[in-house]
Structure formats: C-alpha cells, structure tokens
Amino acid sequence: MFTKILIANRGEIACRVAATARRMGIKTVAVYSEADANAKHVAVCDEAVLIGPAAAKESYLRGEKIIAVAKATGAQAIHPGYGFLSENAEFADACAEAGLVFIGPPASAMRAMGSKSAAKQLMEKANVPLVPGYHGEQQDADFLHAQADKIGYPVLLKASAGGGGKGMRVIENSAQFKDALASCKREAISSFGDDKVLAEKYLQRPRHIEIQVFADTLGNCIYLFERDCSVQRRHQKVLEEAPAPNMPPERRAAMGEAAVAAAKAVGYVGAGTVEFIANQDGSFYFMEMNTRLQVEHPVTEMITGTDLVEWQLRVAAGEPLPKQQHELAINGHSIEARIYAENPEKGFLPSIGTLRHMETPSAVAFELGGAVNLPAGVRIDSGVRAGDAISPFYDPMIAKLIVWGADRKQALARMAQALSQYQIVGLATNIAFLKRLVEGQAFSTADLDTGLIERNHDALFPAAHAAPDAALALAAVSLIESEKDRSAAQSGANAADPWGQALGWRMNHPYVRALSFGDEFTAAAQPYGVNVSYRAADWLFSVGTAQPQVLSLMSQDGHDFSIKLGEQAVHGTVRRDGDMLHVFTNGAHYPLAYNDPMAHAGETEAEGGRLTAPMPGKVVAVLAAKGQEVKKGDALVIMEAMKMEHTIAAPHDGVVDEVLYGVGDQVADGAPLLAFKTA
C-alpha cells in the first residue's frame, strides 16, 4: 500500500479522499491555487504546495507542475478526484512515465470512452443496448439529415466530445434539422474544439440511471448496483438516490451485467460509472461511461457499506477487489442533495461571496466501510467552512448532503428535515428549492424523469409570498434584545440609570416603536411596517394596520429564540449580517433588511448600495455615461462572473453622476459601480 499520495484536486472531493487516506494511515499532499491558500482541503492534508494563480488552467490543470510536486514531496501516487485532470489520458500517461501511479483507469480506457461515437461503436460490439441512432464518423449535413429522418423524430443531436449539456439539440421535425445541426456544431467546436455530432432517437420522459462498476488489475469486475440521477437542470444533476425506485431485481441484474460488459470491453480498472437512459417501460440504453469517481458516489457507499475511495487505493496498489459480486447487497435507501451557492429564482445564477454563517444539520458520522444503519443517517461532505469564500473561479458547490433510511420513505423524511436545519448567511443558496423538490409530489412519489423540474415548474417555483408575522416578530425581538445587551454593556457602572437603558421605559405613556423591514425576495411591494408597543414584561406587536397581538420572549440561547405571538409558540434563529436580519423558522429562511433610520438618514436608495457589484467579476459593458438621465429599470452596467452575465439596473429615475469602472475592469464583491443621483 502507498505511504503518501498527492490529491490533484480541491474542495469537497479533496477533503473526502484525505479522510479515507488518513484512516488508512496514508499521508496526503494537497495542491492549491492562490485563491485557495486558506481552503479546507489545504488544512486537512499533511502537506500543501502552491501550484499557481487562481485560474484552473494556470493551477489545477497544470499536469506537469502537479507531477513535479508529487516527485518533490515523495508521493507515490496521484488521486485526481473528479473534474480537472481526472479523465485526462495524457495526464495518466505522464504519471506513468514519471514513475507515479495514477489512481484511476488506464489511459487507453479513457480514450476509448472519451468519444461518445467511438464508445458506442465499442458497446455495440459488446452487445450493450444502444439507443437507435447514428454514431459513425460521416459528418456530411445531408447524410446526417437522412439518418435523422430514418431514426424518426424527435431526434437528439449531441456533440461527440461533449458533456454538461453543451452541444445538444432536440429536433422535433425534419424542417428544423438544418438550423439545429449548424447551431449544435458551432457550440461543439466552441466548447470542445471538435464539431463531430451523433444523432439518436429522443426518448420521451426518460430516466437517467447509472451503474457503479469496479474492476481490479487481476481481471475481476463487479457492479455495486445503481443510482437514479433523473432530477436534473440543464443536464446537470440535482438529486441522486440509490437504489433506483421501482427497479425490479431482473432489470437491476441486466443493467449491472451490461455495465460490467461495457467496462470489460475497454479493459477498465478502478472505479467507473456506466450511464444509461431508461424508458418508462423499463428498456434501457447505454449513454456514456464516466472514467472516474462520481460526485454522487456517497449514496452507493451508504447502501453497500463500502468506502469506494479505499477500494480505489487498494486496486491502484495492485490488490484484488475487497468484495466479489455475491458478497454485495443493498441495505436501505440513500439520497444526496447538492447544496450550491446559486439563486434558483434567477435562473440558478451562481452566488459569489463569503459564508458569513453556516450551521449544518445534526450529522452522525458515517463510518466508511462500516454499518450504515445509523441513528440519524445524515452525512455531509463539504470542502468549505464558515468564513470561507465561494469564488468565481470554481464550481460553487458548498456541500453534498447525504441521508440514509431503512427505506425511501424514511430517507425522504430525513432529507427534508436536514434541509430545514441547514442555515447559510452571506450568499444565496438552493436549499429552499431542494426542500420543495424533495417534498413535492413528483419526487416523493418517484414519478421520475429527466424533465421533472420543467414539468413541475409552477410547484417548484411558486409565486413569491409575504414573510409571515412569526418571522417579523422574531426579527423584532432579536433587534430589541440586542439593543438591551448593547446598552447594558455600555452603561457599565451606571447600569441602574433608566436613561441609559434600552428597555423602552416611559413615564406616562407606553413607548410605541415603528420598525421597517425590506424584503426583495417576497411579494411585499413596500417595506413591512411593524409596530411594537413596549410593556412591563412583554410587547404588543402588529404588522401594518392589523390587530395587535401580545408578543413575549420565552427563552433565548444566543441567536436562538423561543417567542409567543398571540397563542402561537414560535421557535427560530436570527442571524444579523450588516443591515440584514436572516430569520430561520419553521424550515424556511427569510432575509429581512432592517431599515435603520439612524444609520441611513439622508441616504437615497442608490446610495444605500443598490448599484454595487453582486459578486466578484468583470465589467463587460457600460451602458450609461456621466450626466445621463435614466429611468427606473434601465440597464446601466453588465458584469460577467462564472461565465454568466448579471445586469445592474437603475433602482429608480435619476442621473448618473459618475461611472467608476470601464469595460474589462475586474471588480470586487460589493464594489460601487456608479455614483447615482435621484431625479
């Protein structure tokens, strides 16, 4: 077995590999970019070496530099994780030439499966089921058009070298073919440097089911059952589960055996995933093979009681597979949700910033390689900590939340509960969206297909609604109590002086206080007007012109509050971040902007920060000039971050006083982009 390995990756997968290596007594070397100097994966490894600037092409994709670090630190092998160099055949070859073990499949297997068209020709010879289509080298437009007509519409065009949903077009009829082909080829050449395409029958309401395979250097190859990854957005997975719901044993065996045949056809070694597209009638067809460990591998570990990273290390060291096919069995059900820094309501726009506060669900450590029937059945794989930044340079994943249950019903309940307990402040996340998804009828009843999110759009993206009185009451109590604490700390020896206390004491009449909370995330057109009337032991609370209710504080533990509003007991957490009060209650998150009249006296809406950069990025267009009069909603500046554009619009009618950045300038998160005057 190896005594030291280098992990050529970052984030949660680097931390995941390091955890297994530590348990096995193997020392680890981390590599990191300048942007990751303080990253979690750097801290959890035994050694860490800087390899370049933030951009991946100048750091994590520099294979020759990574190999040099491995040699210099005495590492015997390199684990590539997933992404970056994990499926780079040239890098695998370079490792071998340098006398290092590449913890992954042979370069020949990567090359064989790297081209979708070539892989399907190989699978056809191995009798692996294929979707009816054309996978050859002939790329003449008229020839491809004739093939599509022969297959029958709808037809799916796919870039042969593609992935991640790029270079894909669904063609509904023959008249659409010419334009769709040209568009597909343009995107393919731009994304992959190769405009070859293949044409296949487009399946209606298909499921995405993949099989985990594992092979050693001694000729053994097995499958560790299946994962259902049907819930996707833009061809990227959102939820994964194992085993696949409603999977008959006969079909499971047939898919597993087909996956093993696919792996053997290319002389595979190590962990791999054979992906199939499955019809609702149970028929299934080969799509592609991912020649690496998958993001969703934890659900397989949870139901099989295995540590797939340990298996990778043992196989790469020349050992036989730890188990044979007859020794594997499915135990319970597991679901994984990917927690991302993104805004689903804004087209899943990545959210860049600092994790100012992060509280995770109560997790019971999953003992990799041990029993899976844990009391809580919750596992969190993450590469970030509270205080870390989600940068524009890498994937905005915060964590993978994995749950296990004795059956799917219990796993669903645990996932919903765990999502309710997740608290993040500092950037937008997809947590609320995931909760709606898990609790929605389609997913909970296993009515699965790759179009589930689009089919259930209205339920998953409901109309905005106003924050409930309970959330506003928690925000008000949090403010009042924090003011009491602050005044008590400031008064010191004069603590008994009533004039130095923030208790709302008045000599003749009760103190009625008006609070204002803004909320851009709900249907509230105007700020919430909250009235709080101070009394001896409690308050009278009302929103707008509603009838006042008695509000009292039952208990407080730091940021956690238990209050009583009328006859309703309310429990929640309130975290303050500048002017924002983040209220977490009843499984929901309500970001409320406190309009402090003392802190912002005289400021206009624009001066209050409306015209600032929402994330670090580059200015790609300036649409307004100094002195220009603009109307509310007019586009002023366009920024680009993580390959997505964000438009900064005028918050109201006014005049551009000064443009602070030009096209091509890099700007920091929160940087003011323009000076703006109200008309």
Query: Which class would CATH give 132-201?
Result: alpha beta
Q: Are 459 and 372 in contact (CB under 8 A)?
A: no
Q: Which fold has domain 209-231+242-460?
A: D-amino Acid Aminotransferase; Chain A, domain 1 (3.30.470)
Q: Which residues pair with 155 in a beta bridge?
A: 171, 201
Distance CA(419)–CA(421), nearest Å, equals 5
Distance CA(111)–CA(225), nearest Å, equals 25
pLDDT of residue 551: 97
pLDDT of 610 strictly over 80: no
Q: What is the mean pLDDT of residues 612-634?
A: 83
pLDDT of residue 305: 92
Lowest mean pLDDT among 202-216, 234-248, 550-564, 618-632: 618-632
pLDDT of 222 strictly over 50: yes
CA triplet 665, 668, 669: central angle to 5 degrees?
135
Which amino acid is present at 544? Answer: G
pLDDT of residue 265: 94
Q: What is the mean pLDDT of residues 352-378?
A: 67
Q: How confident is the model at residue 613 (pLDDT cuts 50, 70, 90)?
A: confident
Question: What size, in residues, is the chain?
Answer: 679
DSSP 263-316: HHHTT--EEEEEEEEE-TTS-EEEEEEE-S--TTHHHHHHHHT--HHHHHHHHH
Among 346-360, 422-436, 635-649, 653-667, the range with the most confident prediction by mean pLDDT is 422-436
pLDDT of 372 strictly over 80: no
- Alpha-carbon distances, residue 338 vs 168, 238, 364 (angstroms): 24, 6, 18
- Alpha-carbon distances, residue 269 vs 185, 287, 290, 643 (angstroms): 33, 20, 12, 35
pLDDT of residue 605: 40
Lowest mean pLDDT among 94-108, 368-382, 411-425: 368-382
pLDDT of residue 213: 98
pLDDT of residue 268: 97
pLDDT of 522 strictly over 70: no
CATH architecture of 4-103: 3-Layer(aba) Sandwich (3.40)
**Cis peptide bond upstream of 243, omega within 30:** yes
User: What digits encode the pLDDT tens for the residues 265-321?
Assistant: 999 999 999 999 998 888 999 989 999 999 999 999 999 999 999 999 999 999 999
Whole-model pTM?
0.82
Task: Read off the DSSP letter of residue 666.
Answer: E
Q: What is the mean pLDDT of residues 665-673?
A: 78
Q: What is the mean pLDDT of residues 368-375?
A: 42
Q: How confident is the model at residue 140 (pLDDT cuts 50, 70, 90)?
A: very high
pLDDT of 608 strictly over 60: no
Q: Are 483 and 583 in contact (CB under 8 A)?
A: no
Distance CA(79)–CA(101), nearest Å, equals 9
CA triplet 232, 257, 114: central angle to 5 degrees?
55
pLDDT of residue 376: 52
User: What digits encode the pLDDT tens for the residues 458-505?
Assistant: 999 998 888 999 999 999 999 999 988 776 665 555 556 665 566 666
Which amino acid is present at 473? Answer: A
> In three state form, how does the secondary structure of 176-236 look?
HHHHHHHHHHHHHHHHHCCCCEEEEECCCCCEEEEEEEEECCCCCEEEEEEEECCCEECCE
pLDDT of 669 strictly over 70: no
Could you give the residue range(s) of every CATH 2.40.50.100 domain in the chain?
606-678
Which amino acid is present at 300? Answer: T
pLDDT of 452 strictly over 70: yes
Q: What is the mean pLDDT of residues 558-568?
A: 97
H/E stretch holding 629 reads strand 629-630
Q: Which residues pair with 364 in a beta bridge?
A: none
pLDDT of 602 strictly over 70: no
pLDDT of residue 527: 86
425-464 burial, b if ≥16 CB within 10 A, otherwise e?
Answer: bbbbbbbbbbbbbbbbebbeeebbbbebbeebeeebeeee
Q: Which fold has domain 469-594?
A: Glycoprotein, Type 4 Pilin (3.30.700)
pLDDT of residue 337: 98
Could you give the residue range(s) of every CATH 3.30.470.20 domain in the chain?
209-231+242-460
pLDDT of 232 strictly over 70: yes
Q: How confident is the model at residue 352 (pLDDT cuts 50, 70, 90)?
A: confident
User: What digits encode the pLDDT tens for the residues 324-347?
Assistant: 999 999 999 999 999 999 989 888
pLDDT of residue 349: 83
CATH of domain 606-678: 2.40.50.100
| Residue 524: CB atoms within 10 Å | 16
The more confident residue out of 67 and 160 is 67
pLDDT of residue 496: 61
Q: Are 199 and 150 in contact (CB under 8 A)?
A: no
Q: How confident is the model at residue 260 (pLDDT cuts 50, 70, 90)?
A: very high
Strand stretches in 291-422, DSSP E: 333-340, 342-343, 349-350, 353-354, 357-359, 378-382, 389-390, 397-405
pLDDT of residue 607: 42
Residues acting as catalytic residues = 292
Distance CA(329)–CA(22), nearest Å, equals 27
Could you give the residue range(s) of every CATH 3.30.700.40 domain in the chain?
469-594
pLDDT of 258 strictly over 70: yes
Taking all residues of the chain, what is their mean pLDDT, rounded to a whole number? 89
pLDDT of 214 strictly over 60: yes
Among 130-144, 357-371, 511-525, 628-642, the range with the most confident prediction by mean pLDDT is 130-144
User: What digits encode the pLDDT tens for the residues 56-104?
Assistant: 999 999 999 999 999 999 999 999 999 999 999 999 999 999 999 999 9
User: Which one, of 257, 300, 301, 252, lies nearest residue 278 by Cα?
Assistant: 252
